[in-house]
Amino acid sequence: MIVKFTKMHGAGNDYIYVNTIAQTINNPKEAAIIWSDRHKGIGADGLVLIGSSPVAEADFSMRIFNADGSEAMMCGNASRCIGKYLYERGLTDKREIKLLTLSGIKNLIVNMANEDLDSDDNGKRRVGSVTVDMLQPVLTNKEQFVGGDSLPDGMFVSMGNPHYVIFTDNVDRAEEEGPILELHPAFPQRCNIEFAHIEDDGSIRVRVWERGSGITMACGTGACATAVAAFMTGKAGRMSIIKMDGGCLHILLREEDNHVMMTGPAEFVFDGEISSNF
């Protein structure tokens, strides 16, 4: 069987996207492992399946599998890429798209690159960025976790998936400490680990060790968790610029309802076909 796919990235966080409305992937976990291999496969941080929604409240659905085959609950960068994919590929003409994920329904807001022309020079619709309403964060004190008192100082923030944010002068600690903390006994379901530093200009430099994928160029939910932790600890205001290895994301903790609004880029890399037994 030949599977058509699209490679996309959001601030360098790259995934393989398959439209499962048009074709079927029977074993996405195994496909994610093999296709994500950067030497023997397509190469990516994981596999994303775009599907129709089984519930009337959402327009489309997303399933995401990390490079190790584990299924993730949510990915902010992948959500933005899906918004661009759906709009530019003509699967919808909505500028607000409701996307069903394992962590609930997320609202995607499509921001056009040129509002006046609503197209690029070839007359095609072109999305400049996508904003995702990530809903309200959930905070947990580390001492509430079994064995949490042995964690380094940080803040646990759930953005529909688990994050532990550590403020430090050395964000490169992610390389050595990330894989250890991901598997810390305090996190029986493993955890995404953020190492963050407040820069002189007020922006926040972050490196992320993602659960199931390791170091990635960017992590949308990680950027949101970091911005929330920075606000809650008085290190930043409600608006933060998060600088990751692959680029910047803009995070707003909305005052009226404490929803986390994430805005950032989404880009096509290439389309392709791959022979598949999955």
Residues 6+ apart with CB under 8 A from 177: 152, 193, 195, 209
Which among 81, 191, 219, 224 is annotated as catalytic? 219
* Active-site residue, 219 included: yes
Active site residue 81: no
| C-alpha span between 270 and 155 (Å, rounded) | 38
Residue 156, strand partner residues: 140, 164
How far apart are alpha carbons 209 and 248 in whole angstroms?
A: 17
β-partners of residue 275 are: 2
- Alpha-carbon distance of 80 to 50, in angstroms, equals 12
With a CB cutoff of 8 Å and minimum separation 6, the contacts of 255 are 238
Distance CA 48, CA 66 (A): 9
Residue of 75, 81, 191, 224 marked catalytic: 75
CA distance 70 to 45: 12
Which residues are annotated as catalytic?
A: 75, 219
